[in-house]
Amino acid sequence: MYVDSEMYIIHCDLDAFFASVEQRDNPALRGKPVIVGGTPQSRGVVSTCSYEARRYGVKSAMPASQALKLCPQGVFLPVDMKRYQEASRQVFKILSDYTPLMEPLSIDEAFLDVKGCTSLFGPSEAIARTIKERVLTEVGLTISTGISYNKFLAKLASELGKPDGFKVITRQDARSVLDPLPVSCLWGVGKKTRQVFEHMGINTIGEVRQVPLELLEKRLGSSARAILDMACGIDLRPLDTARTARSMGREITFEQDVLEPEQLEKALLQFSEYLGQKLRTAALKARSVTIKVRYHDFKTVTRSRTMTPSIFSDLDIYDTAVSLLRETHPGKVRLIGLQVELDYPRELVQGSIFETGETEENLLIDKTIDLLRERFGNDAITRASLMKK
């Protein structure tokens, strides 16, 4: 197939990544429904599942107990992040061999801009096929690739081709590919926007394109223009080659629903210590703090607060998180999570020993704890409230 000179955006996405690594490393698992994440007994959720498990309706983020009902013969495995990270590093090294212009989206997918590299490696089609061959040969995994003239269509192409896919969407073919697809395939259309379209009697991307912009703006607000552009195959966003993690977080699904605020606050303190250490190691601050609370009926509530100035202290993160927790309604809690949005590198300020936050004194205490844990392990020093009774 000939790919014209405009087709220089490649989206690369590893297939069922975590599960594929497990099947690669254990041949006995190949062809079986592998489900990676929490176990049904621990009330965890599915991180990734193999395509064999997906045939039974198992999906990412689904409660493991539900996955067990759908697929009783499923093989449930815990997450082994170190192995997945090593495989990811190998794959991204291959991707970087073909262009310096890369936008990582997650541990298992990225956009490549190969416009200036075709004289060295051939057209984008040849580059994508070579990447697929190398990832399979050198890493032992399959990767789907999509090629188009913008990010939205390149990602859509890889999704439509999965698994082990190779698909091209040209400018001439864009509308014929888009028209029959459900509106949920449009980037930025989530559950609420999809419901708005359903109320309007709109189900496909082709139908979206027939709606006047003025009407879409009344129903969707400021996002209407971008959604209509996507429906027309237009996406002017450049690759964010300087993209880095914008947030970090932790969460836990309790084995039994928790009603006591003290237990929830204890979990937040553990998360605050972990995130504070990560921030200091990376010389970053947190510009905002967000908590997530999921109740026994799966109703989920989030609370967020912007920090001025930004923070990096364990106790500042914890105090903010607890304050947000107290703004939520009491009830039986199934899951609690804590996330911080990352800010620019830290600049220390002089402060009083009676103040918390961005002071030399608090940083000295936090860094001393960090060093002790780095040298003697995480259990070398702990707060009294976190000690096991």
Among 202-206, 264-268, 350-354, the least confident range: 350-354
Domain count, the chain: 3
Q: Is the domain of 156 the same as that of 268?
A: no
Residue 138 is among the residues annotated as catalytic for this protein: no
Is 4 a residue whose pLDDT tops 50?
A: no
Cα(261)–Cα(352) distance, rounded to whole angstroms? 31
How many Å separate Cα 47 from the centre of its chain?
11
Amino acid 350: pLDDT: 34
Q: Are residues 18 and 162 in the same domain?
A: yes
Q: Residue 306 pLDDT > 70, yes or no?
A: yes
Q: What is the pLDDT of residue 25?
A: 97
> In CATH, what number is assigned to the domain containing residue 262?
3.30.1490.100
Write out pLDDT tens, residues 72-122: 999 999 999 889 999 999 999 999 999 989 999 888 999 999 988 888 899
Instruction: Give the separation between CA 54 and CA 362, rounded to whole angstroms.
Output: 49
Percent of the chain residues past pLDDT 90, beyond the cut? 64
Q: Give the per-residue pLDDT at 352.
A: 34
Say yes or no: 334 and 360 in one domain. Answer: yes
Whether residues 58 and 138 fall in one domain:
yes
Higher pLDDT, 229 or 363: 229
Domain co-membership, 186 together with 159: no
The per-residue pLDDT for range 5-40, each reduced to its tens digit, is 578 999 999 999 999 999 999 999 999 999 999 888
Closest to 293 (Cα-Cα) out of 284, 285, 302: 302
Rounded to whole angstroms, what are the CA distances from 197 to 164, 174, 176, 186, 193?
A: 32, 21, 20, 12, 6
CATH number at 195 reads 1.10.150.20
What's the pLDDT at 379? 57
Boundary residue ending a domain (168, 195, 219): 168
User: 367 or 87, which is more confident?
Assistant: 87
pLDDT value at residue 386 = 60
Residues 159, 27, single domain; the answer is yes
Q: What is the mean pLDDT of residues 187-206?
A: 91
Q: Are residues 375 and 279 in the same domain?
A: yes
Asked whether residue 240 is domain-assigned, the answer is: no
The pLDDT confidence band at residue 351, using thresholds 50, 70 and 90, is: very low
| pTM higher than 0.95 | no
| From 22, 52, 103, 109, active-site residue | 109
Query: Of 168, 186, 217, which residue sits at a domain end?
Result: 168
- The band of 280, judged by pLDDT with boundaries at 50, 70 and 90, is confident
Q: Do residues 185 and 281 both lie within one domain?
A: no
DSSP result, 310-365: EE--HHHHHHHHHHHHTTSPP--EEEEEEEEEEEEEP------TT--SS-HHHHHH
Q: What is the mean pLDDT of the chain?
A: 87
Q: Give the model's confidence band at 347: pLDDT under 50 very low, under 70 low, under 90 confident, else very high.
A: very low
Query: In this structure, which amino acid lies at residue 249?
Result: G
Residues spanned by the domain of 99: 7-168
Q: Give the per-residue pLDDT at 349.
A: 36
291 and 214 part of one domain = no
Confidence check: pLDDT of 138 > 60: yes
CB atoms within 10 A of CB 92: 16
Q: Are 4 and 123 in contact (CB under 8 A)?
A: no
Question: Is pLDDT at 252 greater than 60 in this prediction?
Answer: yes
pLDDT of 156: 97
- Judgement on whether residues 148 and 52 belong to the same structural domain of the protein: yes
Residue 218 clears pLDDT 50, i.e. is over it = yes
Task: Based on the fold, state whether residues 107 and 13 are members of the same structural domain.
Answer: yes
